[in-house]
């Protein structure tokens, strides 16, 4: 789960729809790490459409139930690189974090509107 803890500014997690909902509500950027099913579409939504995340290098979908038949390895250097990219403070990183905060604010406002009805 994602909460607004002090100092909690990024998320890396299992990339399923609930993680997206929690992360966007909290207004934090994400590392997308798709493995199978709709996670690849989720990656496109977060990285290319909302522009509030960075992607891991996994690009080939794995059929559900056949995970053991595939060797999907991600090296620790790859994880380090993508997390550093997510946390960078250059203009691109600042804009990514700003978009994530703004989207989170918008989501919370929409939730309040629904709660008030």
| Gyration radius (Cα) of the chain, Å | 15
Number of structural domains (the chain) is 1
Any domain includes 38: yes
Mean pLDDT of 73-77: 76
pLDDT band at 2 (very low <50, low <70, confident <90, very high): very low
For 2, list phi and psi in degrees, rounded to 5.
-115, 130
Share of the chain above pLDDT 90, in %: 30
Any domain includes 1: no
Any domain includes 86: yes
Of 21-35, 49-63, 88-102, where does mean pLDDT reach its minimum? 49-63
Any domain includes 2: no
Any domain includes 3: no
CATH number of the domain that 38 lies in? 3.40.50.2000
Give the whole-angstrom CA distance, residue 39 versus residue 34. 5
Contact 34, 13 (CB under 8 A): no
Q: Which residue range is the domain that position 99 belongs to?
A: 11-63+70-116
Contact 42, 15 (CB under 8 A): yes
């Amino acid at each position: 789960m994602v909460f607004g803890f002090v100092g909690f500014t990024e998320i890396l997690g299992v990339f399923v729809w609930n993680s997206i909902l929690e992360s966007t509500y909290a207004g934090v950027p994400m590392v997308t790490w798709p493995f199978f099913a709709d996670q690849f579409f989720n990656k496109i939504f977060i990285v290319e459409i909302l522009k509030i995340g960075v992607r891991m290098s996994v690009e080939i979908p794995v059929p559900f139930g056949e995970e053991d038949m595939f060797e999907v390895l991600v090296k620790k250097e790859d994880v380090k690189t993508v997390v550093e990219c997510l946390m960078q403070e250059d203009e691109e990183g600042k804009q990514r974090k700003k978009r994530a905060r703004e989207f989170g604010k918008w989501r919370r406002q929409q939730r309040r509107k629904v709660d008030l009805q």
